[in-house]
Chains A and B, each alone.
Chain A
């Protein structure tokens, strides 16, 4: 980091922004020094996104002041933010898949030649130059459809640099990366700072905060809870500030005592939606009393595997034996009845119908059974009692069960899914990305529930792209790469670096 701490790159004073019913930013003061890597951390709904949206001109604050490079400014639209040298890399990439990297980067600001046409050579060489300067390894002529997630992200960063951004906002940039790709990203960030850029790094992964940032600002409930130099603080302290209470970062559990086999997958082949092979000759088994984890970078067949096991996708070849019976060809409801629960990775479109009320989502697996309904007629009283019980037991924060599910926060939506799935006391719970988009406090609760299921002699199959999660919760871990299991590991015997290699398909 370049030592030039006298100047501030960004300073916001007393920013307040409210939406109907919530104050997303409540008198927020936030200051980023020139040339530093500043981590902005907080749970979902803490107000981080609102704050950066205000900085990037997407949202307007109700009150407060913004200073860029010590000058007061009004950022009323995104163009203005870009003009001020602010660049943002969103969590979801905004790229045209059929365009090359350079075409995406130049989009809207293409260099023209003397006849007024786009000067492709100029564009390509300029992109190459910027890429070289900051150590961003991107081929300007590579089409985004063929690019890995890491390269897409670098293209997004280049897009901001091409527009002369000096202040870069990265919104949860590591969520989609492997450990190796994350390391490479950190290299890039460091070289950006060496070239005099300022980086605002939004994350909820505290390990990354400790590794990359110079200073850190913690937000909770729309307020800034604390600002400190990273070297003077600890993950435990940050977690406490984020959640507002003591958090146990490590999942507490006894040694697993696996008993009989409950799920056996034999030489399974599954095709994805485009008809390509997604799961290749995969075998695994899960026993009662254990949590089996599946680790791997997103898109290596986990989705298809889970869908095939839960009955949402047909299998092509192979056997799935659950509780002694073959279940490859029976419906999801029959699988449920046999004791197989499924927390899907896509809660908004699969696990829930967000247009339905909370109670309607809570009874999705049980509405057809007495006492919730008799003779096809739903007993409102029993349904409401049932829903309220689940709401209390799983701590779903809502004003009532007659509220649209879509109005809940991500964490609470996930609790609705988990409450419904566990209410049936299943033999095996398949949990796919159960904590994606869920905040730390709730992650802790969900992990505890998974361990509780295990301890009550039931089984869990945990599929997650969060390496930390799989390693701390699961008792046995399979690493999946391109639809095949690369290696089975005991999470206690292997380090992050080694796991990263397995996740990249490299076996020793």
Chain B
């Protein structure tokens, strides 16, 4: 992955315009007035307290899963199992949320979050060890573990953790375990702040600490190149870096699941559907595999999603149209060859140099 540059902004801009054009055509042929739909879409994404809060709330798990992807890519691992970690972390956060009855608010929430992180992280231990000691591709093992996770949580919600005789679900978590919702008209909760803090913390750790340097020396975007000869040459234990990176990645996935339960759902039920772990991979790539990039891309992505939900709610337009448009946009953003072909134009090179200097 190349460094972020002004060219990316241009491509994103151009991609957005083309996407809008396609949306225009799609809406017109299906018998809608594009301008009105567009207005609704924009309103749903970023206008008004309620819509903004909902956008931020949707962004929370995306932020965490995209950063989980960033961390795993940085150690040279392609972790596709973040969604599995989300399920596991969510399940055990719910369990801790109703199981511990005599704790105060802060200790209880902290305990639930810690358990979500630890369980999500341990879920990644097996693929990490298999990769390092047996050479099993983490891509294969984590994909399989995603299925295992879904079946496992479904069993647990149906069996050992089931409370409701009618529906397969855990008991509701206690009030002391809830992440606070501040507004009556939105599920927006303090989990969002945790996610933002994690984004900045990850940036700091990766870029400014020796620990982060050791993690990155093993890969840094060279996905699939673990173990990198460079880190073994420096005497950095690359096996340890790879395992640590996978555990952090899984822990962040678990945290994302935990926050969904503690802040939004408040109990774990069998039909609960997570897919942010997969979207997080795309978002991380859009964010150029940088933690802060992941944060910004998550907010952008959620705004589009929420706008789509709003349109779906207000009109007859199918929600799938938003998914189509998002996919087209992703195509443009990840089109690295298009990005580099822009260098042909002199003004792009100049702008690039100008902005690069400013950032330094």
Q: Decide yes or no whether A367 CB sits under 8 A from chain B.
A: yes
Find out whether the CB atom of A378 lies under 8 angstroms from the CB atom of B210.
yes
Q: Decide yes or no whether A248 CB sits under 8 A from chain B.
A: no
Find out whether the CB atom of A332 lies under 8 angstroms from the CB atom of B234.
yes
Q: Decide yes or no whether B358 CB sits under 8 A from chain A.
A: no
Expressed in whole angstroms, the minimum distance between the Cβ of A463 and any Cβ of chain B is 16
Q: Decide yes or no whether B232 CB sits under 8 A from chain A.
A: yes
Among A335, A351, A368, A400, which residue has its beta carbon within 8 angstroms of that of B230?
A: A351
Interface contact tally, CB-CB below 8 A: 70
Beta-carbon contacts of B228-244 to A below 8 Å, as 1s and 0s?
11111111100000000
A344 CA to B233 CA in the complex, in Å?
A: 9
Find out whether the CB atom of A311 lies under 8 angstroms from the CB atom of B229.
no
Interface residues of A in 165-198 (CB under 8 A from B): none
Number of interface residues of A (CB under 8 A): 35
Find out whether the CB atom of B235 lies under 8 angstroms from the CB atom of A351.
no
Q: With A311-B235, A336-B235, A353-B220 as given contacts, are A367 and B210 in contact (CB-CB < 8 Å)?
A: yes
Q: Which of A333, A355, A404 has the most CB of B within 10 A?
A: A355
A404 CA to B222 CA in the complex, in Å?
A: 14
Q: Decide yes or no whether B337 CB sits under 8 A from chain A.
A: no
Beta-carbon contacts of A334-364 to B below 8 Å, as 1s and 0s?
1110000010101001111101100010011
A349 CA to B236 CA in the complex, in Å?
A: 15
The DSSP consensus for interface residues of chain B is: helix
Find out whether the CB atom of B209 lies under 8 angstroms from the CB atom of A377.
yes
Which A residue sits closest to B217, measured CB to CB?
A353
Find out whether the CB atom of A360 lies under 8 angstroms from the CB atom of B234.
no
Find out whether the CB atom of B360 lies under 8 angstroms from the CB atom of A365.
no
Find out whether the CB atom of A353 lies under 8 angstroms from the CB atom of B228.
yes
Q: Decide yes or no whether A275 CB sits under 8 A from chain B.
A: no
Beta-carbon contacts of B262-274 to A below 8 Å, as 1s and 0s?
0000000000000
Beta-carbon contacts of B207-226 to A below 8 Å, as 1s and 0s?
01111010011001110000
Which B residue sits closest to A361, measured CB to CB?
B230
Q: Decide yes or no whether B343 CB sits under 8 A from chain A.
A: yes
- For A228, what are the chain B residues with a Cβ–Cβ distance below 8 Å? none
Beta-carbon contacts of A283-314 to B below 8 Å, as 1s and 0s?
00000000000000000000000000011100
Which B residue sits closest to A21, measured CB to CB?
B349
Expressed in whole angstroms, the minimum distance between the Cβ of A171 and any Cβ of chain B is 26
Find out whether the CB atom of A356 lies under 8 angstroms from the CB atom of B217.
yes
- For A377, what are the chain B residues with a Cβ–Cβ distance below 8 Å? 208-210
Expressed in whole angstroms, the minimum distance between the Cβ of B11 and any Cβ of chain A is 16
Expressed in whole angstroms, the minimum distance between the Cβ of A22 and any Cβ of chain B is 12
Q: With A368-B210, A378-B208, A404-B3 as given contacts, are A356 and B216 in contact (CB-CB < 8 Å)?
A: yes
Number of interface residues of B (CB under 8 A): 23
Q: Which of B213, B231, B236 has the most CB of A within 10 A?
A: B213
Among A21, A333, A344, which residue has its beta carbon within 8 angstroms of that of B235?
A: A333
Q: Which of B3, B217, B232, B233 has the most CB of A within 10 A?
A: B233
Q: With A353-B222, A356-B217, A400-B360 as given contacts, are A373 and B210 in contact (CB-CB < 8 Å)?
A: yes
Find out whether the CB atom of B233 lies under 8 angstroms from the CB atom of A351.
yes
Find out whether the CB atom of B213 lies under 8 angstroms from the CB atom of A367.
yes
A380 CA to B210 CA in the complex, in Å?
A: 11
Q: Which of B222, B231, B235 has the most CB of A within 10 A?
A: B235
The DSSP consensus for interface residues of chain A is: loop
Find out whether the CB atom of A332 lies under 8 angstroms from the CB atom of B233.
yes
- For A350, what are the chain B residues with a Cβ–Cβ distance below 8 Å? 229-230, 233
- For A344, what are the chain B residues with a Cβ–Cβ distance below 8 Å? 233
Beta-carbon contacts of A358-399 to B below 8 Å, as 1s and 0s?
001001110110000100111010000000000000000000
- For A336, what are the chain B residues with a Cβ–Cβ distance below 8 Å? 235
Find out whether the CB atom of A342 lies under 8 angstroms from the CB atom of B208.
no
Find out whether the CB atom of B208 lies under 8 angstroms from the CB atom of A333.
no
A402 CA to B209 CA in the complex, in Å?
A: 17
A353 CA to B229 CA in the complex, in Å?
A: 9
A454 CA to B343 CA in the complex, in Å?
A: 47
Which B residue sits closest to A350, measured CB to CB?
B229
Q: With A378-B210, A402-B360 as given contacts, are A355 and B235 in contact (CB-CB < 8 Å)?
A: no
Q: Which of B208, B230, B349 has the most CB of A within 10 A?
A: B230
Q: Decide yes or no whether A109 CB sits under 8 A from chain B.
A: no
- For A312, what are the chain B residues with a Cβ–Cβ distance below 8 Å? 229, 232-233
A360 CA to B219 CA in the complex, in Å?
A: 13
Find out whether the CB atom of A346 lies under 8 angstroms from the CB atom of B209.
no
Expressed in whole angstroms, the minimum distance between the Cβ of A324 and any Cβ of chain B is 21
A346 CA to B229 CA in the complex, in Å?
A: 10
Find out whether the CB atom of B349 lies under 8 angstroms from the CB atom of A20.
yes
Q: With A349-B229, A351-B230, A400-B360 as given contacts, are A376 and B210 in contact (CB-CB < 8 Å)?
A: yes
Q: Decide yes or no whether A316 CB sits under 8 A from chain B.
A: no
Q: With A332-B234, A380-B208 as given contacts, are A355 and B220 in contact (CB-CB < 8 Å)?
A: yes
Find out whether the CB atom of A355 lies under 8 angstroms from the CB atom of B233.
no
Which B residue sits closest to A374, measured CB to CB?
B210
Q: Decide yes or no whether A2 CB sits under 8 A from chain B.
A: no
The chain A residues found within 8 Å of chain B, CB to CB, are 20-21, 310-312, 331-336, 342, 344, 346, 349-353, 355-356, 360, 363-365, 367-368, 373, 376-378, 380, 400, 402, 404
29 A-B contact pairs sorted by A residue (CB < 8 Å): A20-B349, A310-B233, A311-B235, A332-B232, A333-B234, A333-B235, A336-B235, A342-B233, A349-B230, A350-B229, A350-B230, A352-B230, A353-B222, A355-B221, A356-B216, A360-B213, A360-B216, A363-B213, A364-B217, A364-B234, A367-B213, A376-B209, A376-B211, A377-B209, A377-B210, A378-B209, A378-B213, A380-B208, A404-B3
Given A351-B233, A353-B220, 17 extra CB contacts under 8 A:
A21-B349, A311-B235, A312-B229, A332-B233, A333-B234, A333-B235, A336-B235, A346-B229, A350-B233, A351-B230, A353-B231, A355-B221, A356-B217, A360-B213, A360-B216, A373-B210, A376-B210
